[in-house]
Amino acid sequence: MKVGKLSQTAWNRAVMKQLYKKQEQNLLKISAAESCSAYAVDDEQVLIKSAASTSGDTKKLGNYSLAAAINQLASRGAKPIDVQIFILISERIGEQKVAGMVQEMEEMCTMMNIAISNVQVEVNPAVTQAIVRVETMGFAEKRILRNIENIKPEQDIVMCGFVGLEGTLRILEEQEKELKGRFVPAFLRQTKELESQMLKLQLLENVEKEVKEENIILSAVQHVGSGGLFATLWDTAEVAGLGLQIDMQKIQIRQETVEICEYYHLNPYKMTSTGSLLFFTDQGEKLIEILEKNGARAVRLGSTTAENARVITSGSEIRYLDRPTSDELMLWRKQKLEEGKNYGYKTEIKK
């Protein structure tokens, strides 16, 4: 099988067809595009759960799992109250690296005023790089629970954040020594500062309040994860049963991402993009005003359509969105592992 997230077709065959017993309590329909589950607590509240995993060789690895899980949860209208961490490491990795990873995640959770309730670490001989899985849960108002199936034709698609930024930061962390030979220190320092763009919890909380006050119809919010923007657009449209009309020239991308992706011959539009969000709404311009008032850059990418065609325009050029392929960061890491290079955060070897 190809590396990265399973395609919608493969997921339907390998996963959905095997699930005979339906989970009627789950208020969010299980699908390849849905990252959360939700359960009614009472008539007014729901409990929402989310999880995310990352693999690699840097001490900040867990921060990306944490940001992805929290963003997914917040996109469904919930505020996290609990975080559990599960770390798989190889025998080559020592206590110092584990301590560094946990410390980074603790600092991020402290910033959000969330306590880590559980941390499990296991040395597994099948693992070649560290794998960090974060599970989180929180409560949301039942009336604002957003399901992908609520998305309708002719709704605005608003993008917040930058494509490929997560992948850019993770490559920089693992390949900083090499990139220092290609880019000036100021460029790399500026790129590192973009890490603050990963977490969208406070932004989503603020948007939620103002959307309620302004009576803005917000059908769904999708976190852009593995496979990047193109995969998220395709999977969401597939589950919603809708088409898309997207303006390629409106997609937000940082020059730092362009430069680093060009250096490694990667497509940023197909690269994991924690920190990027897609909003589906009837009032795109009003939502953009709210997002920008809260310090986020946002743009109207296009709209949903009643037809099945997923159209991407770039000036006078018209083409169609392809089915999702492997995440570019995953392909890059696979290549590095196959080359057998010792790159990224230095591991400790037990003697």
- What are the structure tokens assigned to 131, written together? 């794998």
d(CA 86, CA 58): 16
pLDDT of residue 350: 35
pLDDT for 74 beyond 90:
yes
Q: What is the mean pLDDT of residues 259-283?
A: 96
Q: Is 272 in contact with 223 (CB distance < 8 Å)?
A: no
**3-class secondary-structure state, position 294:** coil
More confident residue, 174 or 144: 174
Percent of the chain with pLDDT over 90: 72
Which residue segments constitute the domains of the chain, with CATH numbers given?
22-144 (3.30.1330.10), 148-339 (3.90.650.10)
Going by pLDDT thresholds of 50, 70 and 90, the confidence category of residue 338 is confident
Q: What is the mean pLDDT of residues 218-234?
A: 94
Length of the chain: 351
pLDDT of residue 220: 95
Condensed to tens digits (0 to 9), the pLDDT of residues 79-100 reads: 999 999 999 999 888 889 899 9
pLDDT for 319 beyond 80:
yes
More confident residue, 23 or 41: 41
Q: What is the mean pLDDT of residues 32-54?
A: 92
Give the global pTM.
Answer: 0.91
Angle, vertex CA 293, rays to CA 112 and CA 152, nearest 5: 90
pLDDT of residue 28: 87
d(CA 68, CA 53): 8
pLDDT for 343 beyond 80:
no
pLDDT for 259 beyond 50:
yes
* Spatial CA neighbour of 167 closest among 331, 342, 328: 328
d(CA 331, CA 147): 31
Q: What is the mean pLDDT of residues 321-325?
A: 89
pLDDT for 200 beyond 90:
yes
- What are the structure tokens assigned to 221, written together? 């919010």
CA distances from 268 to 47, 107, 348 (A): 34, 29, 32
* Spatial CA neighbour of 273 closest among 133, 129, 168, 156: 168
pLDDT of residue 341: 52
Residues 6+ apart with CB under 8 A from 34: 28, 148, 239
Going by pLDDT thresholds of 50, 70 and 90, the confidence category of residue 45 is very high
Distance between alpha carbon 91 and the CA centroid of its chain, in Å?
Answer: 29
Q: What is the mean pLDDT of residues 323-337?
A: 90
pLDDT for 188 beyond 50:
yes
> Cβ of 220: how many Cβ atoms within 10 Å?
22
pLDDT for 351 beyond 70:
no
pLDDT for 344 beyond 70:
no
Going by pLDDT thresholds of 50, 70 and 90, the confidence category of residue 22 is low
pLDDT of residue 347: 39
Q: What is the mean pLDDT of residues 104-115?
A: 94
More confident residue, 20 or 134: 134
Mean pLDDT in the chain? Answer: 91
d(CA 226, CA 167): 10
pLDDT of residue 21: 66
pLDDT for 327 beyond 90:
yes
Q: What is the mean pLDDT of residues 113-139?
A: 94
Q: What is the mean pLDDT of residues 266-277?
A: 96
pLDDT of residue 142: 87
d(CA 113, CA 142): 24
Q: What is the mean pLDDT of residues 60-72?
A: 96
